[in-house]
Structure formats: C-alpha cells, structure tokens
Amino acid sequence: MLSWIRKLSIGTKIKDGLLPDGDMGTAQDLVNKKNPSEVTEKDITELKETVYDLLRTIKDPEKPQTLEQLEVVYEDGVIICPSTPNGTFVIRVEFNPTVPHCSLATLIGLCIRIKLERSLIESFKLDIYIKEGAHSTEEESM
C-alpha cells in the first residue's frame, strides 16, 4: 500500500479523492491545501501511517534489527495533530528505548528527526519524546 506522502512524492497526476472537488491534481496540490479545514481525517490517518512506515525501517544504532522489531517505535506513539491556521502539521513521535539506561536514546531521537525531515515534503513541526518512565535519565532532562 502506498501511503500519502509516497503517493505525493511521485509528482504525477493521481486520483485519490483528496482534492475537494475530486479532480485530479499534482502532489503539490494535495500537500498545499489552502484552507486547514480541508484537511480530512483520512489525510491525518494516511500521514500517521506514512510517518510510522518511515520510522519502522530505521536500524538501531547498536543492533542489526530495526526500531520496529525492537519495539522502540510503535503505531500508537505517532500522533498527528490537525494543521495549525498556517497549514503546519504537528507530528509528535514517542519512542521507547530498548533498556532504561540506553546510552543511545538521544541518537535514536536524532535518527527519527533526520529521517522525517528528509522524507516528508510538507510543512510540519516535529516533537520527539522518550516514553514517560522508560529511561533512567528522564528526571535529569527536565
């Protein structure tokens, strides 16, 4: 299944029912909706699925498995807030380090940020958090 951003990144004309009148449009037409009220629940769900698809393929810095295989990232940890008045989505990613004393939690967070910044073509604000209570240095960073 091609998810929203992958369809959009093709850059060809596609018919996906995302444009208000159902006409065919380019990827840029779909991403640059003029009115935030035009963003549907389907758009948000597809963006969430796309973000998760991107994150689950990241390799762990210490192990040969992916973040999904190690259950560092999970679907419920990706939250998409509806776009702000200026059309910016807020993408919140919560991840769970493999162990409470994981020394590479910061690097994992940075890998998540870079993967999303390089892969998503639309305007967004990105918040990345370690799952509450999942890391031993949680109190130190507050």
Is residue 89 one of the residues assigned to a domain? yes
In 3D, which of 87, 84, 79 has the Cα closest to residue 44? 79
Residue/partner pairs of 7-11 with CB below 8 Å, 24 or more apart: 8/121, 9/121
Range of the domain at 63: 39-130
Residues in the chain: 142
- Within-domain flag for 117: yes
Q: What is the pLDDT of residues 70-120, one digit of tens each?
A: 988 999 999 998 767 777 888 999 998 877 677 788 888 899 999 999 988
Tell whether 60 is covered by a domain: yes
Predicted local confidence at residue 21, as pLDDT: 52
CATH code of residue 111 = 3.30.300.130
List pLDDT tens digits, range 12-43: 444 444 445 555 554 445 455 545 566 778 88
Query: Model pTM greater than 0.85?
Result: no
Does residue 11 sit within a domain?
Answer: no
Is 30 part of a structural domain of the chain? no
How many independent structural domains does the chain possess? 1
Residue bearing tokens 């963006």: 47
| Residue 22 covered by a domain | no
